[in-house]
Amino acid sequence: MSQLKEKLLSSFIAFEEQKNIDSYVHGIRTKAIKKFEKEGFPTKKMEAWKYTSLKKTLNYDYKLFPTATETLEFKDIKDFLIDDIESYKIIFVDGKYCSHLSETTHDGMDICILSSALSQSKYDLVIENYFDKISKKDGITSLNTAFSSEGSYIHIPKNVQVDKPIQIVYFSTGKNESVLYQPRNLIVVDENSHVEIIERHQSLSSNSILVNSVSEIYCNERSIVQHYKIQDDNRNASLIDNTFISQQRNSDYTLHTFSFGGELTRNNLSIFQNGERIESTIKGITIIGENQHVDHNTLIHHKKPNCNSYQDYKGIFGENSVGVFNGQVLVEKEAQKTNAFQANNNILISDKATINTKPQLEIFADDVKCSHGCTVGQLDKNALFYLRSRGIPEKEATALLMFGFANKVLSSVSIPEVKTRINNIIAKKLGVKIGFDI
Amino acid sequence: MSKYTEDDLKKELETKEYEYGFYTDIESDTLPVGLNEDIIVAISKKKEEPDWMTEWRLDAFKKWKEMKEPEWANVKYEKPDLQKISYYSAPSNKPKYNSLDEVDPELLETFKKLGISVDEQKKLAGVAVDVVIDSVSVATSFKDTLSEKGIIFCSMNEAIKKHPELVKKYLGTVIPKTDNYYAALNSAVFSDGSFCYIPKGVKCPMELSTYFRINEAGTGQFERTLVVADKGSYVSYLEGCSAPSRDENQLHAAVVELIALDDAEIKYSTVQNWFPGDSEGNGGVFNFVTKRGLCENNAKISWTQVETGSAVTWKYPSCVLKGKNSIGEFYSIAVTNNFQQADTGTKMIHIGENTKSTIISKGISAGKSQNSYRGLVKINPRAKNSRNFSQCDSLLIGNECGAHTFPYIETKNKSAKIEHEATTSKIGEDQIFYCNQRGIDTEKAIALIVNGFSKEVLNKLPMEFAVEAQKLLEISLEGSVG
């Protein structure tokens, strides 16, 4: 048994002692730790983790409960927020909620934190109905469930159009220690409501940070949820992001994942379509370089008829980076008239980079239209020559082409400020100083 | 014309018995059931093999004992009890035939029933056939014509005795004894198979062919095929299979190794029509086959397969593209009906520079069957400018079957170009309507559409095989569509 696992198991008791053991969640946590004890951390022997090894990441001596917290000022974190728009903010620093940086509300909807939702009885009904209902019961998710105490809690009631986007940002100052964080988000969007969420994990230190995050998102009938994940952490931080989405009839869920940073990033994304006429769209841009590893593991589970799903993941891989895409589309017998599309396009710009991709379709219904396409290639030499012959330097020309390659994913971002921010990150990442605004 | 409804079609399909299910009453010489070192030595002795071969088998058996049966495939079945199988069954009154006329007439009758009689084929296409019944090679035609050119085409057993230097040099080089569970088992117990050697610069003047058939109850068929194409040579090789219908599951675990040296080309076509089990899912053949080819510089290996039989198929004909500019191709049609399960695909391992591979896979599932494509395209760091194109299309007929795609793509070279696309759909009502409108009944329309769907692959088969394959497709799917 690994050291970290032992440490986690033994500290669970101490962790639970501080909590209210009569609560509903106590039972779930206890069950989850048992599950984790049995399953442990995923290994390369598991099909879903064939191309991603956690061995190195789990080798650090992580602290489980950060003690020292640094006080951050707005100016310290400004760069990591989309600061030029009005927004609700739920800011966590070193695993603790940071009220003076946040902007939450209880006015007609709940945009607040999970710890208060777990401790106050008025939230019991929501917690009992939604908490840990759709999350997978594998080792890594169970570990988060066992230690779940803090994170964002968002409940949007019926017929509400949330007036501004919600930004959820987890900072770690890390001071002088390696820390394992396990944030937990619960997002419930009721009938006919609309919300935009921007999520980010950011380490501010050079210590090794591992974040094992779990989010459960419930999109009830006719709701619209637009979700953005910005993963541009510094090079010592690793992220395992487990996101589970349950969609009801006529709901529309869109996720954009932008993966540029971090040492190891693993996105486990599962969407369950539980009603008819559901739209699910997931898109991603990955641009990584030296020693970076990004793994997208997606599942779209079509359970009911007349639903659509659309996946589009683009990746540019430099240096000795490793890119993994494992996209699964599962169409059940009942899910007739499903329309599922999946695309994964990759560009390798270094001989040392690796791409492993496995787009998989499992189909049990006959009247469906399912297709996937997957490519690995290079930039078009003719296009590059065209730009060069018009006086554009090689670096800029390459950047322009790469940007063009990724732009299809970016064009569907509905918040202009997010688009600009991503544009800037891409420009910085590619080392050019040109604006890509279009 | 009375209306032919979907239900009628279904009923007809379910009651449609396996046309090739008969049992030829040939006296056969069968070893006791079970598997241990004595049995292996006994097989080796019966075959009058030299000592090195016996040791080779025993070594494989030793390694096999340490291995576990693979479970990763997307198929469900009751694992065959390998101790309850007889590992050797040979037609006992086996004389050494010089011409086909001397072959047991009952055996010839078998081929007539199958509609691909040896002599008919001889006349029609000039095919040289090596017939393997219950793993023992019975007859090889056209040997003289071939030997003029220096081509060796004989049973494995004969090759071990007459050409030990070739067998020793190549056997087990592409598929090592320890490659996987069933390959190891085959290495230990294989009873016969075909061996083919094409000398330098020789273009084989005719299609070589092997016909496999499991006849005896409770036997497994473990044949071993080795095809070596020396520098600059060309050969086209055909393989056909069938088995009588039985209630219990029969096991077929074959190993096929292809070696294409510099500038050589091998075309390997299979029409697999083992007994698929009845409409209740009883019986049928477990087809666990390991096939792999090795390409040296500028060599080309092309696999074409039409898989319509077997209860469970587990088969991945692969190409190791070791030499520069080598080419690997894989064309496949897999049809599953009733309770059949197929997990098939290919592996293209790009090692050399400028290597190219093409994968075209067509899966058709009907009834309650499950059909999976599982493929790997691997580009090694040294494989500059390599290129792959894969296309996997699935057609679903009825709402109780499943079609699955598991493509693995691993790239470690920036100059590689890979394209993969897959689609799943059903036969369009508009397509059928279009045919109906023009006086083509639904049944025929479906045959037409399925044929069109599989055309890309059917085109790759040698002519006389293509006709048979087309017929097989129609038979396998008859009436399954609505």
Contact between B409 and A366 using a beta-carbon 8 Å cutoff: no
Residue A82 confidence (pLDDT): 85
Task: State CA A258 to chain mean position distance.
Answer: 9
Q: Which residues in B lie closer than 8 A to residue A336 (C-beta atoms)?
A: 399
CA–CA gap between residue A111 and residue A153 (Å, rounded): 6
pTM for the model stands at 0.82
Residue B407, Cβ neighbours under 10 Å: how many?
Answer: 24
Q: What is the pLDDT of residues A310-321, one digit of tens each?
A: 999 999 998 889
- Predicted pLDDT of residue B12: 52
Which residues of chain B are within 8 Å of residue A372 when distances are taken between CB atoms?
405, 420-422
On whether residue B74 sits in a domain, the answer given is: yes
Query: How far apart are the C-alpha atoms of A115 and A92, rounded to whole Å?
Result: 12
Sequence-distant (≥ 6) Cβ neighbours of residue A213 within 8 angstroms? A144, A151, A170, A181, A182, A183, A184, A185, A201, A239, A240, A241, A242
pLDDT value of position A46:
86
Disruptive mutation site among B6, B350, B409 for chain A (greatest number of A CBs within 10 Å): B409
Strand partners, A187: A154, A217
pLDDT given at position B125: 37
Tokens coding B439: 């006086």
Nearest to A348 among B407, B414, B426 (CB): B414
Which of B421, B413, B340, B426 has its CA nearest to residue B375? B421
Pick the closest to residue B335 from B288, B373, B383 (CA basis): B373
Contact criterion met (CB < 8 Å) for B412 and A370:
no
3-state secondary structure of A57: helix
Of all residues in chain A, the one with the smallest CA distance to B421 is: A373
pLDDT at residue A13, rounded to an integer: 81
The one-letter amino acid at A320: N
Show residues of chain A in contact with B414, CB under 8 Å. Answer: 348-351, 353, 378
In a domain, B239, yes or no: yes
Beta strands in A157-205 (DSSP E): 166-172, 179-181, 184-189, 194-203
- Cα A171 from Cα A173, distance rounded (Å): 6
**Residue B46 resides in a domain:** yes
* C-alpha to C-alpha distance for A390 and A162, rounded to whole angstroms: 47
Torsion angles phi and psi, residue B183, rounded to 5? -70, -40
Residue A192 has pLDDT above 90, yes or no: yes
Six token digits for residue B262: 């510099």
CB spacing of B410 vs A366 below 8 angstroms: no
State how far the alpha carbon of B308 is from the alpha carbons of A21, A266, A364, B216, B342, in Å: 60, 40, 20, 21, 9
The pLDDT value given to residue B184: 87
B400 has a chain A CB within 8 A of its CB: yes
Decide: A184 and A214 in contact? Cβ < 8 Å.
yes
Pairing mode, strands B356-365 and B341-344: unpaired
Residue B442 within a domain: yes
CB contact (8 A) between residue A360 and residue B405: yes
The rounded distance, in Å, linking the Cα atoms of B260 and B96 is 31
Q: Is the pLDDT of residue A300 over 60?
A: yes
List the single range of A123-127, A159-163, B143-147, B298-302 with lowest mean pLDDT: B143-147
pLDDT of B36 reads 80
Q: Could you tell me if B435 and B445 are in contact, meaning their C-beta atoms sit under 8 angstroms apart?
A: yes
Name residue A67's amino acid. Answer: T
Structure tokens of A422?
């991503």
| Angle at CA of residue A85, ends A79 and A91, nearest 5° | 55
- With vertex at residue B231, the alpha carbon angle to CA B229 and CA B232, rounded to the nearest 5 degrees, is 95
Q: Do A366 and B404 touch (CB under 8 A)?
A: no
Residues of chain A with Cβ-Cβ distance to B415 below 8 Å are: 351, 378
Strands of A108-261, DSSP E: 110-113, 152-156, 166-172, 179-181, 184-189, 194-203, 209-219, 224-231, 237-247, 252-259
Between CA A80 and CA A89, with CA A85 as vertex, the angle to 5 degrees is 60
Per the CB < 8 A criterion, the answer to whether B292 and B175 are in contact is: yes
Across the interface, whether the CB atoms of B424 and A373 are under 8 A apart is answered no
Mean pLDDT for the stretch of residues A324-348: 91
Interface membership of B417 toward A (CB under 8 Å): yes
What are the residues facing B393 on neighbouring strands?
Answer: B362, B423
Cα of B350 to nearest chain A Cα, Å: 14
Closest Cβ opposite residue A358 in set B396, B400, B408: B408
Residue A364 to residue B402, Cβ atoms within 8 A: yes
- The DSSP code for A177 is S
More confident residue, A249 or B134: A249
Q: Any idea what DSSP says for residue A53?
A: -
Q: Judge contact between B216 and B91, C-beta under 8 A.
A: no
CA-wise closest residue to A86 among A184, A252, A219, A198: A198
Nearest residue, CB atoms, A358 vs list B407, B412, B419? B407
The gap from C-alpha B190 to its chain's centroid, in whole angstroms, comes to 16
Task: Please list every residue in chain A whose beta carbon sits closer than 8 Å to the beta carbon of residue B397.
Answer: 366
B284 to B18, B84, B110, B168, B250: CA distances (angstroms): 10, 16, 19, 35, 6
**Which of B227, B20, B9 shows the shortest CA–CA distance to B116?**
B20
Domain assignment present for residue B482? The answer is: no
Q: Estimate the crossing angle of helix A24-39 against helix A139-146, to 10 degrees.
A: 140
Classify the phi-psi angles of A42: left when phi > 0, otherwise alpha if psi is within -120 to 50, otherwise beta: beta
Determine, for residues B409 and A364 on separate chains, whether the beta-carbon distance falls below 8 Å: no
Task: Name the residue among B266, B324, B313 with its Cα closest to residue B292.
Answer: B266
Closest C-alpha among B358, B360, B398, B132 to residue B239: B132
Q: How many angstroms separate the CA of residue A340 from the nearest CA in chain B?
A: 10
Min CA distance, A360 vs chain B (Å)?
Answer: 5
CB-closest option in A51, A351, A361 to B424: A361
Instruction: For residue A232, give both structure tokens.
Output: 């541009």
Nearest by CB to A360, from B406, B416, B417: name it. B406
Using a CB–CB cutoff of 8 Å, tell me whether B397 touches chain A.
yes
Q: Helices then strands (H, E): number in chain B?
A: 12, 25
Residues 6+ apart with CB under 8 A from B267: B235, B236, B237, B302, B304, B462
Mutate to test the interface with A, among B414, B415, B418, B449 (most CBs of A within 10 A): B414
Structure tokens at A187: 């997002």
Q: Say yes or no for a CB contact (<8 Å) between A333 and B422.
A: no
Q: Report d(CA A353, CA B414) in Å as an integer.
A: 7
Question: Coil, helix or strand for A150?
Answer: coil
CA distance A290 to A388: 27
**Contacting residues of B for A332, CB less than 8 Å apart:** none
Q: Which amino acid is at A12?
A: F
| Of A384-393, A420-429, B44-53, B107-116, the least confident | B107-116
Mutate to test the interface with B, among A324, A366, A371, A398 (most CBs of B within 10 A): A366
Q: Which helix (H) or strand (E) holds B42?
A: helix B37-46
Please report, to the nearest 10 degrees, the dihedral formed by the alpha carbons of residues B36, B41, B45, B48 taken in order. Answer: 120
Does A366 sit within 8 Å of B416, measured CB to CB? no
pLDDT along chain B (482 residues), means of 10: 52 50 53 76 82 87 84 76 69 44 52 48 45 54 73 84 88 86 86 85 81 57 87 87 59 88 91 76 81 92 87 89 92 87 91 93 87 91 91 85 88 89 83 90 83 83 74 69 48
Partners of A350 on chain B (C-beta within 8 Å) are 414
Distance CA(B95)–CA(B102), nearest Å, equals 9
Amino acid B220: pLDDT:
62
Residue A176 confidence (pLDDT): 62
- Tell me whether residue B204 is in a domain: yes
Q: Which residue of B has its CA nearest to A357?
A: B409
Chain A residues with beta carbon closer than 8 angstroms to that of B381: 351-352
* CA distance readout (Å), B230 to B200, B201, B258, B324: 5, 7, 11, 16
B405 and chain A in contact, CB less than 8 A: yes
From the list A55, A56, A52, the residue with the least C-alpha distance to A356 is A52
pLDDT of B261 reads 93
> What six digits make up the tokens of B370?
């499950």
Please provide the size of chain A in residues: 438
SS3 assignment, position A201: strand
Query: Is residue B345 in some structural domain?
Result: yes
Return the pLDDT at B219: 56
Residues of A in contact with B406 (CB under 8 A): 358, 360
Q: Select from A363, A369, A376 the Cβ nearest to the Cβ of B418.
A: A376
Domain total in chain B? 1
Domain that holds residue B283: 6-477
Interchain CB distance below 8 Å, B394 and A365: no
Report the alpha-carbon distance of residue B399 to residue A379 in Å, rounded.
Answer: 42
Per CB-CB distance under 8 Å, the chain B contacts of A358 are 406-409
Residues 6+ apart with CB under 8 A from B68: B181
Residue A269: helix, strand or coil by DSSP?
A: strand
Residue of B nearest to A51 (CA): B410
Angle at B289 between CA B136 and CA B269, to 5 degrees: 80
For the ranges A216-220, A234-238, B190-194, the one whose mean pLDDT is highest: A216-220
- For chain B positions 418-477, those within 8 Å of chain A (CB to CB) are 418-426
Joined together, the tokens standing for residue B159 give 């090759």
Q: Do B409 and A363 touch (CB under 8 A)?
A: no
DSSP code per residue over B364-406: EE-TT-EEEEEEEEEE-TT-TT-EEEEEEEEEE-SSS-EEEEE
Q: Which of B405, B419, B426 sits opposite A366 (nearest CB)?
A: B426
More confident: A264 or B46: A264
Question: How many Å apart are CA A118 and CA A109, to the nearest integer?
Answer: 17
pLDDT tens digits, residue range A2-47? 788 888 888 888 787 777 666 788 888 888 999 998 888 888 888 8
Whether residue A80 contacts residue A170, with contact meaning beta carbons closer than 8 Å, is answered with: no
Smallest CA-to-CA distance from A284 within A346, A225, A339 is with: A346
Size of interface A-B (CB pairs under 8 A): 115
Helix then strand then coil, in percent of chain B rounded to 5, is 25, 35, 40
Is residue B188 a part of any domain in this protein? yes
